[in-house]
Amino acid sequence: MTILCEHPPAFGVELEEKNIPVDHDKQENELVLDGGFVVPGTNSFGHTFRDYDIESERQKGVEEFYRTNHINQTYGFVKRMREEYGSLNRVEMSIWECCELLNEFTDESDPDLDEPQIEHLLQTAEAIRKDYPDEDWLHLTGLIHDLGKVLLHPSFGELPQWAVVGDTFPVGCAFSESIVHHKYFTENPDHNNSTYSSKHGVYSEGCGLDKVSMSWGHDDYMYLVARENKTTLPSAGLFIIRYHSFYALHREDAYRHLMNEEDIENLKWLKIFNKYDLYSKSKVRVDVEEVKPYYLSLIEKYFPAKLRW
């Protein structure tokens, strides 16, 4: 790691989920998705996924995280962060070096996992690879989608977790009630701004999500890193990277009034990806050295050797 001060269309593939018979001898509440990956009935703590109300050892911390996040993620804050980090002048390193850097961190906003991040990245990528063996761009997207969490590292300013992780949402328009722990937005300064609290806010109907400012964090940062370093990932890959934490959209269908036709097409891929991003979180370990050569070949295919971060 060195310290520093037009994308091709999505590849054609059948998007419908494959109808695979479930092995009823498998553990109860498991679901088989798209040909191989088995969705567990519970997360690594033994609870249902994305349950923000159940009493658990992580729940109080998760709720406090979202209270702080919702109060501080304003339109002005996002604009400042994009200006500060969009110059990509902090570090030069490879994609794999960044993966290894994430070994130091866990995500305080995640009620489903407390493992180091590289475990989740490889779990996601390998689950996708099992079911979509010909879509190598999607495997790589699974590996890199959370790399923006390096914002937690001292070399990147050591941002607080509320400015790096958690569900994302548009700023500059009304906060949807479908956003987790929505009640805390009443303390956000934008809540009382007549423009920022209206349905369209500073945007227009069908403007396209690329015109919309999202709450600042690892999603938007990694999107900027990939785009500005001229990745050859398809547009669907960049869409997944930027919006994979935008649960209000891909789980609740909020903010569709801001989408354009390209967003609608890419959302199909995001919904496929989300199953693996969410449900692959488990205590099952991946042999890093065994799969490393495959992912290094994909990195070489879609990215330069060194990236500006």
Q: How many CB atoms lie within 10 A of CB 148?
A: 27
Measured distance CA(28)–CA(36) in Å, rounded:
17
Question: For the packed helices 136-144 and 288-302, what is the interaxial angle rounded to 10 degrees?
Answer: 110
Confirm whether residue 94 is marked as ligand binding.
no
- Contact (Cβ atoms closer than 8 angstroms) between residue 133 and residue 36: no
Confirm whether residue 51 is marked as ligand binding.
no
Confirm whether residue 245 is marked as ligand binding.
yes
Confirm whether residue 287 is marked as ligand binding.
no
What is the residue whose two structure tokens read 């997360």? 43
Q: Whose CA is closest to 286, among 275, 295, 298? A: 295
Measured distance CA(47)–CA(1) in Å, rounded:
38
Confirm whether residue 107 is marked as ligand binding.
yes
- Contact (Cβ atoms closer than 8 angstroms) between residue 34 and residue 14: no
Confirm whether residue 182 is marked as ligand binding.
no
Confirm whether residue 149 is marked as ligand binding.
yes
Confirm whether residue 35 is marked as ligand binding.
no
Sheet architecture: strand order including 91-93: 2-3, 91-93, 307-308
Binding-site residue positions for Fe cation: 120, 145-146, 218, 244, 277
Binding-site residue positions for substrate: 50, 107-109, 149, 166-167, 244-245
Binding-site residue positions: 50, 107-109, 120, 145-146, 149, 166-167, 218, 244-245, 277
